[in-house]
Structure 1
Amino acid sequence: MVEAMIPQFKLGRLLNQDQAGRRIVLLGSIFSQPAILIAERAAFATDITHLSAFAASLANIKNLGANDIYSWFLASSTSHSDPASQRPDLKLNLIYPCTQQHVKKYSQQGLRMVTETPDIYRDHVRPYMQKKREEGRLNWVFNIIEGRKEQEDVIYREHGDEGFLLLPDLNWDRKAMSSLHLLGLVERRDIWSVRDLQRKHITWVKHMREKLLDATVKLYPELDKDQLKLYVHYQPTYYHFHIHIVHVALESGGTQATGKALGLENIISQLEMMQARLGDAGDEAGMADVSLTYHLGEASELWTDIFQPIKEGVVVDVK
């Protein structure tokens, strides 16, 4: 029987690991003939019986960190007589207590492409950002910046008016280099998103880019700078400016796709073009003066409260 060949596979070497470590490609042999074995984690069972028992079935749960309502863990999906011998095969993120905004964000939903003009940003989106910041959802960011949480994870830091720090993103398992994902957080609180970047910030953004790259390859010497890509999200998940640093081989999915991610080098280039066009005048010109096109989930407030009413010709009030 064909299935009897699998136990006969003798490993030669690992050819590849992709999909953020969820698939491996092995080169080996079966009965002295060369063979390639591709192993990919099966999809989770979604019937109510399995889902009801899922959390209780986890073993060897190891906390990787906690900050405000967010915690993250490694865990094993199968029980074993000797828990110490288990290798974690799951990365868990826990949001507790979660809000309705979290429920909307993580729910399956349709997507819409929208174009945010400078006028729409100024009159509708900027007030929406202000409202969200005033709701206190940045406590976990401020915990890091002010030194109360996750300081053992900080890879690099510069203090001051233009200070920033580098640490692992909570979605990375901190093991597979091909899925490396780090986060650069700025200390200043007046830069909420890419929209706040202006011509006068070019030198600062370039400095951050070089320092983030330098710190990453220093900590992980098996990497070269040209194996890393830096981008920002728009719209971002939270309104405090941050830069994502990932391995160039990390499969993009939705978070790095067109309509969500903006390459940092392209942002710098756009600001430099403004500088070349405007000369010494207009240091305040910047990303708030251009139109940005991106996708939104149909359950997001930006769609339901702003862009859908604009599409339907309804007067929008975000106050």
Structure 2
Amino acid sequence: MAPAASSSAPSFSSADALLSSFRFERVLSEDPRALLVYLLGTAVPEGQSERAPCILKLEKTPYAPDEAPSLATPGAWSKLQTVTCNDIYSTSLAWFAPGRTTADVQILSICPATEKHVKKYSMQVSRLVRETPELYETVVKPYMDSLSPSTISWVYNILDGTAEAENVLYRDDDPETGFVLTPDLKWDQKTLSALYLLVLTQDRTIRSLRNLRTRHLPLLRKIRQECERVAMERYGIEKGELRFFVHYQPTYYHFHVHIVHLSYLSFSGITVGQAHLLDDLIDSLSLEVEASNSGGPAPLQSWFERRTFTYSLGVEHPLYALLKEKGA
């Protein structure tokens, strides 16, 4: 059983406090397409006296739907600069005028940041690995077991209602089929075309999709049904506009489901090999049930125990070196 939730207070209570304390060291990585950058520095968490490693993610926010008409007027900009004009084409640069109702940039922070965080958000080369069931048992599972429970204390804080309770969209406390639905931190909670929701299951024994069994079908089906209902009632988004998927390898080992708007494509989390559609997981487990009910011999292991998963890992990821040593 997983440990109880951490009761530690947030490192910073406001963006002003965070940025006033932050001292820049270097750029970890940047993505011109997604308009984001990761900065490494140090900061002094509130209530402490020593500086700690701190990562800032700065990402330009999408335009609000009701903002679009005003963008085509001179008053929306404090400065306009023409770069080039040629026949029917022109290019200009523009600076937002003061008083814009939507934020220009979203700022996320991790403090204190660990070496694992620094490696994760640094620019690095990735390689494909093939994780057989044997490699899972001998390499991946021991690696998971070696991680400190504190790495997912933030998950337990949400599940236990001690953090982000005001943001929860749906809560079901059933220990087997319950879950919490909340906006992902990457979403500004305004731009529907960039909607990003996160499901955290109450069952703390499911660490990744490797642990999924046919007994989890009611949970997976409830996630799909209830989240579609909440998205429709709260945001007017129909079920055909949502993409449900699970990562493998996941960033953290507590089973969770990502839900994004079908229009949201400008992020790496939907890469083939990493993202597995929830519908496909449900279908695979349903076929297991059908096979066991058909009169034939039941498989000794679940489909997700028997599968070889192919996915990419950054070469700085600690798991990559372990798998490479075994020839993955």
TM-score after normalising by structure 2: 0.68
Deviation (angstroms), 1:278:
3.1
Deviation (angstroms), 1:91:
0.8
Query: What is the root-mean-square deviation in Å for CA atoms of aligned residues?
Result: 3.3
Aligned match for 1:177, one of 187, 192, 197: 192
Look up the match of 2:323: 307
Cα deviation, 1:256-290, whole Å, max 9, x if unaligned, reads 11021110101111112222223384696241221
Distance 1:257 1:42 in 2: 15
Deviation (angstroms), 1:189:
0.7
Look up the match of 2:92: none
Deviation (angstroms), 1:87:
4.1
Deviation (angstroms), 1:44:
7.5
Look up the match of 1:149: 163
Look up the match of 1:108: 123
Look up the match of 1:298: 315
Distance 1:114 1:121 in 2: 12
Look up the match of 1:30: none
Query: Does structure 2 retain, via aligned residues, the 8 Å contact 1:166–1:185?
Result: yes
- Relative distance call for 1:298 and 1:71 in structure 2 (3 A) is closer
- Relative distance call for 1:199 and 1:85 in structure 2 (3 A) is closer
Look up the match of 1:21: none
For structure 2, which runs of at least 5 residues remain unmatched after alignment? 1-31, 44-53, 62-77, 79-94
Percentage of identical aligned residues: 35
- Relative distance call for 1:72 and 1:152 in structure 2 (3 A) is farther
Query: Does structure 2 retain, via aligned residues, the 8 Å contact 1:156–1:167?
Result: yes
Look up the match of 1:35: none
After superposition, where does 1:24-103 map in structure 2 within 5 Å?
A: 87-103=102-118
Cα deviation, 1:94-130, whole Å, max 9, x if unaligned, reads 0011000000100111111111111111121111111
- Relative distance call for 1:272 and 1:301 in structure 2 (3 A) is same
Look up the match of 2:287: 273
- Relative distance call for 1:299 and 1:126 in structure 2 (3 A) is same
- Whether 2:158 is the aligned partner of 1:120: answer no
- Relative distance call for 1:174 and 1:273 in structure 2 (3 A) is same
Distance 1:131 1:231 in 2: 26
Please tell me the residue identity of whatever aligns with 2:179: F
Deviation (angstroms), 1:209:
1.2
Deviation (angstroms), 1:200:
1.7
Query: Does structure 1 retain, via aligned residues, the 8 Å contact 2:34–2:266?
Result: no
After superposition, where does 1:146-295 map in structure 2 within 5 Å?
A: 146-162=160-176, 163-221=178-236, 223-279=237-293, 281=298, 285-295=302-312
Please tell me the residue identity of whatever aligns with 1:120: L
- Relative distance call for 1:173 and 1:187 in structure 2 (3 A) is same
Distance 1:198 1:282 in 2: 12
TM-score after normalising by structure 1: 0.70
Query: Does structure 2 retain, via aligned residues, the 8 Å contact 1:199–1:283?
Result: no
Distance 2:34 2:288 in 1: 49
Query: Does structure 2 retain, via aligned residues, the 8 Å contact 1:199–1:284?
Result: no
Cα deviation, 1:31-74, whole Å, max 9, x if unaligned, reads xxxxxxxxx9996899xxxx89xx9xxxxxxxxxxxxx999999
Distance 1:174 1:182 in 2: 9
Deviation (angstroms), 1:84:
5.7
Length, aligned pairs only: 248
Distance 1:111 1:272 in 2: 34
